[in-house]
Amino acid sequence: MINVKDKVVLITGAGGGIGREHALEFGRRGAKVVVNDLGSNVRGDGTSDLAADVAAEIVAHGGSAVSNNFSVADPDQAKAMVQQAIDEFGRIDIVINNAGILRNRTFKNTTTDDFKLVVEVHLLGSAYVTHAAWPFMYEQNYGRIILTSSVSGIFGQFGQSAYGAAKMGMLGLMNVLALEGRSHGIKINCLSPGADTRMTALDKELGIDPDKPRPQSHPKLVTPIALFLASDDAPNGMVIHGLSGRYLRSETFANKGIALDPDALAEDLISNIEQVLDMSSAKALAEPGNIALLGK
């Protein structure tokens, strides 16, 4: 059994969809939950008190939860939500960075303002919240941080340049913090989800109703990954996917490549380019920071 009883968990974007399922399940298992949600629509517009509704549902079922409507894209508000966890529950053990918005357009048609906003909410928002929680976790020699990535960034998705850039940025952030936090018991991983939510419903061809998710694509099927990555036995620096009931891991690979003399020309590279590009014998870089394996 994964035991998160009495752990203090902050979940951003937990007013609906995947974040809501995370919050409810952690609450059922006895965690003390800080439910964050700006209450906006999927584009980041408007407000409502979705977070309070989720917190009330957790409390109604015997759990412990508080809510806030702070914006992850504002560093001061990110600090405030972490401080709320400290003030209410005395510590912070787990941060699940789940908040996000979408403004899908092809790169040709997107605006720089939209691009900036998407990156601010996803990547910078995750960094701001994590940065606010980091000193507390460092001092207590314990922490679990989950960054929400996406196949849109890891593998690419048409019309999602800003979203994809932000989601791939999560891997870079994870790789560095996995190194910096491990001496103080902090583990950080990426969760790459797939489910029927307001975001996936934007693709009209899929015919998704976020209020009636398909059983095999229910947001609750992503939460087992979050529980595992928040547990005492969590790995460090991994990307794990939860896609409509399928669970898998992806990893960075590198091949042996070639070595050229200092006086080599571009033509020397080109004459060996097939060996540079050949991934048939590529090996995984076993853990973050293991760059010594490059070319081995």
What are the residue boundaries of the structural domains of the chain, listed by start? Answer: 8-250, 253-293
pLDDT for the residue 138: 97
Q: Which residue has the higher pLDDT, 32 or 214?
A: 32
201 pLDDT more than 50 = no
136 pLDDT more than 90 = yes
138 is catalytic: no
Direct distance between the N- and C-terminal alpha carbons of the chain, in angstroms, rounded to an integer: 39
This prediction has a pTM of: 0.89
Active-site position among 128, 138, 163, 247: 163
pLDDT bracket for residue 218 (50, 70, 90): confident
pLDDT for the residue 191: 97
Strand pairing category for 64-68 and 94-97 = unpaired
What sign for the dihedral angle of Cα 203, 209, 211, 213?
A: negative
pLDDT for the residue 294: 63
pLDDT bracket for residue 1 (50, 70, 90): confident
Select the CATH number that applies to the domain covering 8-250 from these four: 3.40.50.300, 3.40.50.720, 3.40.50.2000, 1.10.620.20. Answer: 3.40.50.720
**Using an 8 Å Cβ cutoff, are 110 and 161 in contact?**
yes
Percent of the chain with pLDDT over 70: 87
Q: Which residue is it, tokens 């061809």?
A: 205
For residue 87, give the H/E element and its range. helix 75-89
5 pLDDT more than 80 = yes
pLDDT for the residue 104: 85
pLDDT for the residue 154: 92
pLDDT digits (tens, 9 = 90+) for 103-113: 889 999 999 99
199 pLDDT more than 60 = no
Q: At what angle do helices 17-28 and 50-60 cross, to 10 degrees?
A: 20
Per-chain mean pLDDT for the chain: 90
| Residue 168, φ and ψ in degrees, nearest 5 | -75, -30
In single-letter form, the type of residue at position 264 comes to A
**Using an 8 Å Cβ cutoff, are 14 and 237 in contact?**
no
Q: Which residue has the higher pLDDT, 246 or 203?
A: 246
Q: At what angle do helices 112-119 and 161-181 cross, to 10 degrees?
A: 30
pLDDT for the residue 202: 47
200 pLDDT more than 60 = no
CA-to-CA distance for 126 and 50, rounded, in angstroms?
20
**Using an 8 Å Cβ cutoff, are 67 and 54 in contact?**
yes
pLDDT for the residue 215: 61
In single-letter form, the type of residue at position 183 comes to S
pLDDT bracket for residue 181 (50, 70, 90): very high
pLDDT digits (tens, 9 = 90+) for 240-295: 999 888 999 999 888 999 999 999 999 999 999 999 999 999 988 766 666 655 66
pLDDT bracket for residue 196 (50, 70, 90): confident
Average pLDDT, stretch 88-111?
94
pLDDT digits (tens, 9 = 90+) for 29-85: 999 999 999 976 555 555 568 999 999 999 999 999 999 999 999 999 999 999 999
Beta strands in 38-166 (DSSP E): 64-68, 94-97, 143-148
